[in-house]
Each structure stands twice: as C-alpha cells, then as structure tokens.
Amino acid sequence: MGSFDYEVRRVALVGEPYQIGLQHGGHLAAEIFDQLQIYRELFQEACKFDWDAVRSVAAQFRESISRLAPHLLEEMQGIADGVRAQLGSKIDLLDIVALNARSEIALGQWDDGCTSLAWRIRAPGSHKQILAQNWDWREGVGKNLAIATITAPDKPQIWMVIEPGIVGKIGFNSASVGVCLNAIRARPISTALLPIHLLLRVALECSSIDTAIASIESLGGAASSQHILIADKDGARGLELSPRGAFYLKEDENGVLVHTNHFLENRLVDEPPWLSGSPIRLERAKTICGELIGEFGPDRLGEIDAKLLRERVFSDTFNSPQAICCSPDPNRAARIQTLFNIVMTFEPGKTPSAEVVFGKPGSGKESTVYVGEFDLEPVSVVHTRVT
C-alpha cells in the first residue's frame, strides 16, 4: 500500500440530511477531492468518458434521486458545499452524484472483486449472526477510506467504512442490521432507479432485513446489477438485485451464505463472465467454512469469531492473485487488492459490534483492529483501536 499508514480518518456526522452532508464534506474535503481525481481517471480508462460525459449521466441520476430519495440528495448537496467551504474548489452537486453513482455510470465496467460471508451460528450458549467481507478495489482508493458514524433523527445510528463523498457503504446500524456488497458486471443500467450505494444506505436506515427489502422494493430496485448481503440478529439474505428484478438467496443448512462477483440465481440480465476467480473464491470460502464446522463440531461453533475468520477465511491466498485475500495481478494494469476486512457480529440482547482491519488481512502489513460499537445510553458512538 506504499504510503498508506492506516491512520484512518473517523468522523461523527449528526443532524438533518444537509447538516450530515456538510460535516462529511468539511471533515473529508481533501479525501473527496482526491477521490474525484481518481474516478475522473478511472472513467476515462474504463469507458472513455470524459468528466463532462460523466456529469451528463449524473444529471439523470440526480433527477431519480430527487424523486426517490430526496433526503440523500440534500445530504449530497451538503457534501459539495462542505468541500467548497474547505477548499474553495468548484466541486458541485453533480460531481458528488457522480461519485455516488460511480458503479452505474461506468456501465458495469469496473473490475473490483469482493468475497462476503454470512453465518448464523446456533450452539450451546451462543446465538449469533456474523456478517463479513473482504473489500477489493484499486490501491489508490485505500489511502482515502474513512470510518463514519451517522446519527439522524428517528433512524438507527449507522457505522460504516466509507469512500469519502459516498453516502452509503459497508457497515451496520444500532438495530443490528448490516450490509456487505459484491459488484456484478452486467447490463442493463437504469438511470431511473437508485444507484447501489444509495440502496446500501437505505438498508442501513431500516430496523430489520424485512423492512430493508420492503424499502428497496418500494423504490423499484437497483439501477445496476449488484449483490447486497444483508443480515440482522435473526439471519441473512443475499439480495441479487438488478433493474429487471431481484432474487433473494437463503442460508444453507449450516446457516452459511457466501457470495462473490457473479450471480447465482438471477438470470434476468446480460452477465458475461468477467472474473475467472469469482467461482473459485466462492467454492473456497464454502470449503473453509465446512472445515471449521468439522473442526469445532456443533457444541463449539460459538467459538467462531472475527479473529478466527480473519485468520482462516479472509487471509486465504488460494488461487492468488484472485484469492479471497486479493493481490494485484501482474498481468493487469489495474492494481486491485483487498483494502479492508470487516466482521460484524449481531446477538439478541447485545449491542452490535464490528472489527475492521485495513489492508490485506494476514499479510503482516495490515492495520491493527478497529473496533466499532454503539453505546446504548446515551446514544453515541465509541471508536477504539486495539492492537
């Protein structure tokens, strides 16, 4: 990761949508400016879009967001104003919309990976839901990643690892609802629907899997083909979303649900093969989980935790560079690797929590563990860092 020293920025955002955005843009102005430069180059590289073309597509999404999720458009306006106040730059709302619709504007041409896992564990004295993933993307984005908490009236409190400037990402809320994301490369794209990062945020504003699915359905679904792995304290579902409809996956007989970067059941879209390692990662993760079940047996499954999963599943380098723990491929220009690992844990009667490691878990170069959790009284967020 070069100069990335893992001093990850942490911001607490509080208030109405515009104020949340204003704080976001103000605290992370430099990172947002750099993200815009990174994506400006990536759009040109991936789909030959100059920034004017990007903004033209963003304008179509702005209209859809205004209609379907106006509070998030207000938040994006606040982000743009916060960046301008700090840097005096000419960044405006359309630039921020472009960041938030980055998965859609490139027409599915990104080449990011990711491996996600949900595990409903039932053992003597243990009733818990684990939700976890490695997030793989361009190395240059790693230095800008931040941790954000969002406290808004009448909504669960949210804890996320974010790309600065983007209103939704991977994380969980105080109601024990969490989300992970797997990119899918498929067509079509619909500018009449919400970009996937906004749907992640919509899900995190909900109090259960069922209300999150109902909210996504009420909004018409996703603007692009993507997989959201969502869980609460009672279980998990895999949402294979697309503009043409959704398929919902359930856990297997052991309570395990794994997903990578290809649809397993959704055949409504045009999805050419693109990441040869995706099916291999899927089977590898399932195999490791099966090994753990065999090793621990039904009485000791409760011992499976974030540390163990980082060591056994998310550090795995089988079929490298396209491994669960991803490394840059020397045969590809894009330097893509695992940028962080997150393991969330939800248990009835307990405060939800997460452990995050930035960089490649198990590499010896990753960060210490960042712990995210919520205080129940009063409602505030605890950020601690442990070695």
- Where residue 170 sits, what CATH number does that domain have? 3.60.60.10
Q: Which has the minimum average pLDDT: 71-80, 308-317, 364-373? A: 364-373
Instruction: Please check whether residue 330 lies inside any domain of the structure.
Output: yes
Q: How confident is the model over 313-340, as a mean pLDDT?
A: 92
Q: Indicate whether 61 and 150 sit together in one domain.
A: no
Is 95 in the same domain as 121?
no
Q: Is the same domain home to 21 and 48?
A: yes
Q: How confident is the model at residue 276 (pLDDT cuts 50, 70, 90)?
A: confident
Residue 209 pLDDT level (bands cut at 50, 70, 90): very high
Q: What is the pLDDT of residues 134-150, one digit of tens each?
A: 999 999 999 999 999 99
Work out whether the CA dihedral 242, 57, 206, 200 comes out positive or negative. positive
Domain boundary among 70, 105, 140: 105
Q: How many domains does the chain have?
A: 2
Q: Which residue has the higher pLDDT, 48 or 19?
A: 19
Please give the backbone phi and psi of residue 104, each rounded to the nearest 5 degrees, phi first. -90, -40
What pLDDT, on the 0 to 100 scale, is given for residue 110? 64
Structure letter (DSSP) for residue 211: H
Is the domain of 334 the same as that of 202? Answer: yes
The pLDDT value recorded for residue 338 is 97
Residue closest to 40 by CA, chosen among 28, 51, 29, 55: 51
Percent of the chain with pLDDT over 70: 94
As a whole number, mean pLDDT of residues 357-371 equals 95
Q: In this structure, is residue 4 part of a structural domain?
A: no
Quick check: is 131 in a domain?
yes
Q: For 355-384, what is the mean pLDDT?
A: 76
- Give pLDDT tens digits for 34-80: 999 999 999 998 888 999 999 999 999 999 999 999 999 999 999 99
- Give residue 279's pLDDT: 96
Q: Is residue 297 included in any domain, yes or no? A: yes
Strand 178-183 and strand 170-173: pairing? antiparallel
Report how far apart the first and last C-alpha atoms of the chain are (Å, whole number): 20
43 and 19, same structural domain? yes
Tell me which long-range contacts 120-126 makes (C-beta under 8 A, separation of at least 24): 120/234, 120/235, 120/236, 120/251, 120/255, 120/256, 121/255, 121/301, 121/302, 121/304, 122/255, 122/301, 123/298, 123/299, 123/300, 123/301, 123/302, 124/299, 124/302, 125/302, 126/301, 126/302
203 and 345 co-located in one domain: yes
120 bridge partner residues: 129
In a domain, 1, yes or no: no
The two tokens of residue 366 are 């990753």
- Same domain, residue pair 165 and 18: no
Q: Is there a single domain that holds both residue 282 and residue 151?
A: yes
Residue 3 lies in a domain: no
Are 183 and 67 members of one domain? no
Q: Which of 105, 127, 150 is the last residue of a domain?
A: 105
- Which residue, of 85, 105, 125, is where some domain finishes? 105
166 three-class SS: coil
Task: Specify whether 124 is located in the same domain as 258.
Answer: yes
Using CB atoms within 10 Å of the CB of residue 301, give its burial: 0 to 12 exposed, 13 to 18 middle, 19+ buried.
Answer: buried
**Same domain (yes/no): 41, 141:** no
- Which residue segment(s) compose the domain that 57 sits in? 9-105
For residue 37, what is the domain's CATH number? 1.10.439
In a shared domain, residues 296 and 207: yes
Looking at the predicted structure, is the pLDDT value of residue 159 above 70?
A: yes
Is 355 among the domain residues? yes
Does residue 292 sit within a domain?
Answer: yes
pLDDT of residue 119: 98
Region 271-280: mean pLDDT is 88
